Amino acid sequence: ALSGKSVIAAATRAKVEAAAAALGYRPNPYLSALMARLRENQAVPYQATLAWLDCNQEPESWRDSHVQQEFYRGALAQAERLGYGLTRFSLWGSGASPDRLTDMLLARGIHGALIANAVLFKDWGLPTPLRLKDLASVLVGSRTALPTLNFALNDTAATARAAHIQLRRLGYTRVGLVTAHHIEDIVDYGFVAGYGSVFGERGEPFSAPVFYFANRPIEEVSHWVRAHQLDAVLFTYCASLEGHLRRAGLAPVASSIAVL
């Protein structure tokens, strides 16, 4: 009605315009132009460049993580759809202090940052990686690592529940979960909750205690699988353990692994 579309009756349009005026509504011309282009399915003009700030200690370790690759691909696709560029930076690889890194980004005309893998700043009590007051910033993949920031995080309970249900549909009945306390702390133990909900609704006991992997010998995983006679395993961010299970002669289990 406010855009003057002819499909809206004149009397209806007049009522909407009067209500908008009473509320003090004023359209944002920039947002209106952007939405008009999206509706017309036209290419959105370049808006700005954003920084993807990877906080992993090993600058290239994200390449070995399916989850981190998917986070980045999704952010890149959404940025391009809205007319933004996305440039990747490694916090540890740069060796820059928060002030220096912030000044470097601002000097390049970058005023927004997506901060990934920031959990270390919570666990280790490190200072925030940027001067947050100078850049529009959002966390990707975690929510508790830094103060006062918005975050984008997948629904971990729904993810684990869907994976467990799918394994049941495929005929696997003794399903285990391998995770880590620091991961579950980030997501309020969402993976554990989603995994366990399937047992709860079926009135079944857990196939095995949840295996918390961090700082434990890798051989304990295969011992745990054998001890509980598991026929499928769900992992959180531990895809490298699949190779260990195969080498341990647990191929039937390894073929049924789902990485959350």
Cα 204 to chain centroid distance, Å, stands at 31
pTM: 0.66
Q: In the block, which residue shows the tokens 């202090």?
A: 97
pLDDT of residue 254: 44
Q: Which residues pair with 90 in a beta bridge?
A: 54
User: How confident is the prediction along the chain (260 residues), in pLDDT tens digits per residue?
Assistant: 877 767 788 888 889 989 988 988 877 776 777 776 666 666 667 788 999 988 876 767 777 777 788 889 999 999 988 889 999 988 776 667 888 889 999 999 999 999 887 765 655 556 677 888 898 988 888 765 556 678 888 888 999 999 999 999 999 989 999 998 878 887 889 999 999 999 999 999 888 899 998 778 888 888 898 899 998 889 886 666 777 777 777 755 544 455 55
Residue 91 has φ and ψ, to the nearest 5°, of -60, -50
pLDDT of residue 258: 53
pLDDT of residue 219: 84
DSSP state at residue 257: -
Closest CA to 142 of 132, 150, 133, 151: 151
